[in-house]
Amino acid sequence: MQNGTMEELWSTSHLSGGNQTYLDEMYEAYLADPNSVPEQWRAVFDKLPNINDQVTTDTPHAPVRDHFLLLAKSPKVASDTLAPSIVSEHERKQVRVHQLVTAYRFRGHQKAQLDPLGLTERDPVPDLDMNYHGLTQADEDTVFQCGNIYIGKNEAPLKEIVAALEQTYCSSIGAEFTHIVNTAERRWVEQRMESVRSRPDYSDEARQHILERLTAAEGLEKFLGSKYPGTKRFGLEGGESLIPLMNELIQRSGSYGAKELVIGMAHRGRLNMLVNILGKNPADLFEEFEGKSFLDQGSGDVKYHQGFSSNVMTSGGEVHLALAFNPSHLEIAAPVVVGSVRARQDRRGDHEGNQVVPVNIHGDAAFAGQGVVMETFQASQTRAFTTGGTIHIIINNQVGFTTSKRIDARSTEYCTDIAKMVQAPIFHVNGDDPEAVIFVTQLAVDYRQQFKRDVVIDLVCYRRRGHNEADEPAMTQPLMYQAIRSRKSTLELYANQLVEQKVVSQDTVKSMADEYRDLLDKGEHVVKSLVKEPNKSLFVDWTPYLNQPVVDEYDTSWPLKELQALADEINQMPEGFPLQRQVGKVITDREKMAKGALALNWGMAELLAYATLIKEGHPIRMTGQDSGRGTFGHRHAVLHNQKDGSTYTPLAHLEENQPTFEVYDSFLSEEAVVAFEYGYSTTTPNALVIWEAQFGDFANGAQVVIDQFITSGEHKWGRLCGLVMLLPHGYEGQGPEHSSARLERFLQLCAEQNIQVCMPTTPAQVYHMLRRQVRRNLRKPLVVMSPKSLLRHKDATSSLEELASGSFQTVIDETNSDIDPKQVERVVLCSGKVYYDLIEKRQSEEVKNVAIVRIEQLYPFPEERLYETLKGYTKLKDVVWCQEEPMNQGAWYSSQHHMRKVLQRVNSDLYLTYAGRDASASPAAGYMSLHLEQLEKFLNEAILLAQ
């Protein structure tokens, strides 16, 4: 052939026009799945020109055919590289069968019978038709190879292959996994589903257990419905398969050696979960329905927000279950749960995520609609926030509140499509097929265990009673509720199936229901696996931190010589570790600070606080978008090698077997990250947990977490939290978005000693404040209006001696010895950076009869300490509160009553006046000239009017 003409070569080659259709089909198979074509063909197709960015079957093939013509003109390619020259019709059809198999794996879920109500209208899927791939009924009895199909044989008739694919991908389970780029993960899902055709054979015992769990799920709802008619409970009716699902998830996780499961969920089905999965005593639930509170102090919360914990026994041993508290912002509990799981894993040294498993149960509308879901997924594989994969379960009622049309509910095909961003496999399952539900649960647990990644179960069901038991859903969903009213429950359908198959008798079904109801009537536990005397080592003991008095003055001193040695130690670098020039200067200055040659700045004092706490046995965790170096380059807790990019964290290497010091630069999220750190801090009472905002106003993006967890969690749920929030705050002419951390919002949320709000003005103050946060047994969130310009202000310094002795001062009296208290006629009260502006103004104007007093802790307000300070000014005529924020912002509105109360004690004639910016809709001026003009005006008002 090599000696023939080109025409002869083309006419005899397998690239000839007679094989054009075959080439097109082979190329389409390659586009759908490169592994479905022989390696020699794949090598050819890999080298083809990039015709289209989209890899679809609509790719034009004319350029490809032109390329084949060039290949045909190469004798070497024609003879050595390509496939045999004679291609049979059967071989062509074999390729088409592979295409059909691939289509089922890609799109079978779009044909699956997922909706129990049968109302979902779906477009036909042409890819799943044999004719689309050039196969006909005449080919049904033809035997084809099954090498890439896991159906238990190497070859089978086409009709058997199609039947297997239909059952595997188009029955009660619709699997989405072909978006996963990892071939091993995709092949794993294919093998697990195809090998049993998504319908494993369960023993009669296992099926009876499923029936018993469904009986419990329905039984509780019926009992509550008859006992408390019309009372809101957000029942599980229509989604009862959740209970056998959760039972299987817990038991299977336990068989892998899991020690803890942390569960987050919104309202629907929560009471059922509490009683039938976590083992809450029904009698306690009934008392809550009748108005009793089990919280010793605080406001409490409604039943369907409450958390709970218990221990159950599995084949792998005892497992601790924790159901997180959840407010009405439905998805916000998801990152809280994951944060709690990470804390538990860190406590156990469980870096693979084998021993603690996060489970988040979602609603379909919220999962698709709320942005924190995306943020939580984005966190799932990052260093700071990974937990080895979360199992997500969606109770898909197919309606939010009244919005059921997809065109209104979302822009995606499924509510789960957001999960594809992290390549999580998604298993849609018909909730009225309990055995299919159990199978996907096993798949999900095994996948998470195998690959340590998130996985999603979309439990497609319905809600029988509407949004809540007092709602009439037919107002807005008439057709849906016509179908629901005529539909038998999941329990009835499954019980009838088992009776027909002679797995159980009708008497057995009735006795199960009667036995469950008897237990409820008696108010007894209904979870048989519940451990009566739980192993306390499985969970954290918060006893030392409960009911502790709020003590502001607390000794946080540290021996001076040891502090000097520690200051030297935290500046030690590995040999041959080149630093960037400016960072090198920072370290050099810190070496001088350790020797007493320089006063300590903010960064040095902060790192010394961490170092001393580590020495005292406290782990430290800090996250934020720039926390390693600090947004303003003051911290440099993590140092970067300028040659190879490696990092070194001195505080993590103070001594062997020290508590952990972890600082992470987080991804660009506030809501999910703050929620994660809240969850972390509620699970590690001994640790200092810090979230640092890049700018203080970024906390706006986490306001839901602040309102519904951080400031109110203790009062609603008795849930303690010691989270520290560092929020850079200060008016320096940087415009409205980077000046204010919205101090007023935090102060407005303050009540009943729920949080602490501080504005430290010296390095010594931040040192003692951070140490006090952990050394006291008190666990309250700490909100810090942290500085920006003060990080390098020439006067914002402290000595090692100030760190070594003393404690955090809630109020700092006048420090200038030139100001004689007996001559003071005015006291200016202030907080934060404005203190240094006032000092500079007083000095420039040579004012001697004005004292400046700093209130470093705005809540709990230090009334007694302020009284002790002011009563020393015997000639006091007036008191001014000075702030740099506008009048309607900052501390003025929320704190003036505290100050006035103190003034009345000092002298009833004293009146508190205001000096600061005028009320403003915007937090700050956007122009430097206006900023400086406003500053000059209120500084004059604060200092000069005393003359």
Predicted local confidence at residue 686, as pLDDT: 95
Per-residue pLDDT for 657 more than 60?
Answer: yes
pLDDT given for residue 290 in this prediction: 74
Instruction: Categorize the per-residue pLDDT at 751 as very low, low, confident or very high, splitting at 50, 70 and 90.
Output: very high
> 62 or 226: which carries more pLDDT confidence?
226
792 has pLDDT over 50: yes
pLDDT of residue 80: 47
Can you read off the two tokens belonging to residue 31?
Answer: 């586009």
Phi, psi of 690 (to 5 degrees): -130, 135
862 token code pair: 């230090």
Confidence of residue 468 (pLDDT cuts 50, 70, 90): confident
Q: Give the pLDDT score at 304.
A: 52
Q: How many CA atoms lie within 13 A of 504 on its CB side?
A: 22
204-523: CATH architecture: 3-Layer(aba) Sandwich (3.40)
Q: How far, in Å, CA of 546 to CA of 718, rounded?
A: 9
Task: Supply the CATH classification number for the domain 560-804.
Answer: 3.40.50.12470
| pLDDT band of 1, cuts 50, 70, 90 | very low
At 533, the pLDDT band (50, 70, 90 cuts) reads confident
pLDDT band at residue 305, thresholds of 50, 70 and 90?
low
pLDDT grade for 51, boundaries at 50, 70 and 90: very low
The answer to whether the CB of 645 falls within 8 A of the CB of 342 is no
For range 676-686, the mean pLDDT: 96
Among 704, 618, 628, which Cα is nearest to 658's? Answer: 618
Residue 48 confidence (pLDDT):
62
Whole-number Å distance between alpha carbons of 727 and 729: 6
State the span(s) of the chain assigned CATH 3.40.50.11610.
813-946
Q: What is the C-alpha end-to-end distance of the chain, expressed in Å? A: 111
Residue % of the chain over a pLDDT of 70: 89
Q: What are phi and psi of 620, to 5 degrees?
A: -135, 135
Give 13's pLDDT tier (boundaries 50, 70, 90): very low
Match 């007023």 to its residue by tokens. 744
Does 515 have pLDDT greater than 60?
Answer: yes
Q: Tokens 């946060």 sit at which residue?
A: 773
Rounded CA-CA distance 892/883 in Å is 8
Secondary structure element (H or E) that encloses residue 771, with its range: helix 763-775
**pLDDT beyond 90 at 653:** yes
The pLDDT tens digits of the residues spanning 901-943 come to 999 999 999 999 999 999 999 999 989 999 999 999 999 999 9
d(CA 402, CA 410): 14
Select from 427, 303, 418, 338 the least CA-distant residue to 370: 418
For residue 362, the one-letter residue type is: H
Comparing 412 with 82, the larger pLDDT belongs to 412
H or E segment to which residue 855 belongs: strand 850-855
Cα-based angle 823, 827, 831 (whole degrees, multiple of 5): 145
Residue ranges matching CATH 3.40.50.12470 in the chain: 560-804
Predicted confidence (pLDDT) at residue 843 exceeds the cutoff of 60: yes
What token pair was written down for 779?
């666990």
pLDDT given for residue 307 in this prediction = 74
State the pLDDT at residue 402: 80
Q: Report the pLDDT value the prediction gives residue 5, as an integer from 0 to 100.
A: 41
Q: Over 70: is that where the pLDDT of 14 sits? A: no
pLDDT in tens, 688-736: 999 999 998 999 999 999 999 999 999 988 899 999 999 999 999 999 9
Is residue 759's pLDDT more than 60?
Answer: yes
Indicate whether 144 pLDDT > 60. yes
pLDDT at 57 over 50: no
What gap in Å lies between CA 374 and CA 294, rounded to an integer?
A: 35
pLDDT higher than threshold 70 for residue 86: no
For residue 410, the surrounding DSSP H or E stretch is none
Q: Which residue has the tokens 């959840």?
A: 326
The CATH 3.40.50.970 domain(s) of the chain lie at 204-523
Q: Is the pLDDT of residue 68 over 90?
A: no
Are the C-beta atoms of 587 and 594 separated by less than 8 Å?
no
Question: Could you report the per-residue pLDDT of 564-607, keeping only the tens digit for each?
Answer: 999 999 999 899 999 999 999 999 999 999 999 999 999 999 99
Handedness of CA 26, 32, 36, 37 (dihedral sign): positive
What average pLDDT does the structure give for the chain? 89
Would the pLDDT of 504 be above 70?
A: yes
The matching CATH number, chosen from 1.10.10.10, 3.40.718.10, 3.20.190.10, 3.40.50.11610, for 813-946 is 3.40.50.11610
441: CB partners within 8 A, 6+ apart: 245, 248, 249, 252, 457
Distance of alpha carbon 10 from alpha carbon 12, whole angstroms: 6
Distance separating alpha carbons of residues 145 and 158, to the nearest angstrom: 9
Structure tokens at 98: 């592979």
Query: pLDDT tier at 64 (50, 70, 90 boundaries)?
Result: low
Average pLDDT over residues 53-68: 49
Q: What is the pLDDT of residue 326?
A: 82
Please state the rounded mean pLDDT for residues 882-888.
97
